[in-house]
Amino acid sequence: MTRSFENGVAESGPNPTRIEEGRISNVNMARWTADVKTRESQRTYYDIQWSSPYFHFAAGEGMFFMPEVGAKVKVCRPADSDPFIMCFVTAYEREGRQTDSDSGEQPQAGAHSTEPTGDEEDRSDITYRAGRPYLQQGDMMIRTRDGNGIWFRRGGVLEVFSTAIAKRLYIPLLNYIRDICENYDLQSAGGRLHWNVSRSDEDSDDESPTVLTLTARDKAQDDLASVLVRVGHVPDENKLRIAIAPRAINPRTLEISGDAVYTLDLSDDGKKTEFVKDDYDLTVEGECNWEVTGDVTIRSAGFTQEVSGDASIQVSGEHSLRAASSTENISGSKTINSNSIDLGGGSRDHVVIATAAFKQFVLGHRHDSPAGPTLPPTAAPPAAAYTARKVKGS
């Protein structure tokens, strides 16, 4: 588009390219255009586009942004085309030297510093920072006036932030990804991970209880979750809660429809409560030591215990066994060391020990009768008839 000079030497011909400073007075977000009023010529350009670092008209490819009213710009009016916003600039400000910043340290003046020295006018308080955080050489940043943005730090560190405590850092050293936040919520097709920090004004002790909640689905198509894990300030004084209920856990209310097949609760005083609906198998290839200072109660429909090596039971107090019947199969010998053995309820008499003297007394026994003294038994019963072969005593 060509224009002629008005009241100039040449009455016609193309105008030279002109660059002028102005401010955006209106933004058409639907058409991606803006109105700009210039400073020197007081000209208003309507519905002109702004340039981008890169852009391609195919499928909206490129790096782009939506400016705001009041932004200071440079408008380029080419000699052969329509005007456009060439770039965005800022005005200088006066401020004292600041050493504190919420986003980086103040850089030192480099070898090519333009700060006046000597007899020149002292303009050290003039800055074009315009509220931008202090960056180091090589840093790049995309940021809004609300404080959120992306910071490409020199050295490979990438920082995506919304506030000072809501950010993610990508650190090339050891390939770290570090999240910094107050509350965290991750939702996926497989489940939800939620780390909640309550406000202190909602707590009677002015503290901020925290709880980490994980719900996992068995299949992505399931409406309800199958696994629930809660860690932290879990209700009922618990610090850990694990529940498994296939397709029965509401991921939002955490309510369980029906009964869970497994639950585990650990309280803040160390109490453990565990429920297993089906079989429970425990395999220990090494040693297993149990030390219980309190009572132990085991209730079961049946009980089978197999010991491939030696077994030892030490009871400092009383030992009681109650059963409808009892059977012991011992291939070797059995020794009972006790101060007294009572066979049968309310036993009073002592058990006879078939010693050699006792056997001689029985076999050679005689007693008086009206017919005279008796003779020894004509046929003495064998010792096996009145002596236990596998039970001995002293």
CATH of residue 38's domain is 2.40.50.230
Which of 244, 276, 308 is at the close of a domain?
276
Spatial separation of the C-alpha atoms in residues 84 and 334, rounded to whole Å: 106
For residues 239 and 262, the answer to whether their CB atoms sit within 8 Å is: no
Number of independent structural domains in the chain: 4
Q: Which residues span the domain enclosing 369?
A: 353-394
Same domain, 194 and 173: no
pLDDT for the residue numbered 261: 97
Query: Could you tell me the strand order of the sheet in which 166-171 lies?
Result: 140-143, 149-152, 158-163, 166-171, 176-180
In a domain, 241, yes or no: yes
Q: Does a structural domain hold residue 195?
A: yes
Residues of the chain under the 70 pLDDT cut: 1-14, 95-124, 204, 345, 378-380, 383, 386, 389, 394
Using the 3D structure, point to which of 88, 107, 141 is the last residue of a domain.
Answer: 88
Is 337 domain-assigned?
Answer: no
Please indicate, yes or no, if residue 43 is contained in any of the structural domains.
yes
Q: Is residue 127, in this structure, part of any structural domain at all?
A: no
Is the residue at 206 inside a domain? Answer: yes
Per-residue pLDDT, 105: 63
pTM of the model: 0.68
Say whether both 263 and 225 belong to one domain.
yes
User: In terms of domains, do 207 and 254 share one?
Assistant: yes
Please tell me whether residues 156 and 201 are part of one structural domain. Answer: no
Q: Are 14 and 3 in contact (CB under 8 A)?
A: yes
Q: Please indicate, yes or no, whether residues 211 and 175 belong to a single structural domain of this protein.
A: no
Residues 172 and 195 in one domain: no
- Would you state the pLDDT for residue 372? 78
| Res 107: pLDDT | 62
- Comparing CA positions, the residue from 62, 26, 32 lying closest to residue 46 is 26
Give how far Cα 370 sits from Cα of 44, 244, 367, 373, 374, Å. 156, 89, 10, 8, 10
Tokens of 326: 């009892």
Quick check: 41 and 49 in contact, CB under 8 A? Answer: no
Burial class (CB within 10 angstroms; exposed 0-12, middle 13-18, buried 19+) of 180: middle
Residue 189 and residue 167 in one domain: no
**Does residue 98 belong to any structural domain of this protein?**
no
Same domain, yes or no, for 234 and 209? yes
CA distance 104 to 137: 12
347 belongs to a structural domain: no
The residue among 242, 276, 310 that closes a domain is 276
What are 72's two structure tokens? 């200071």
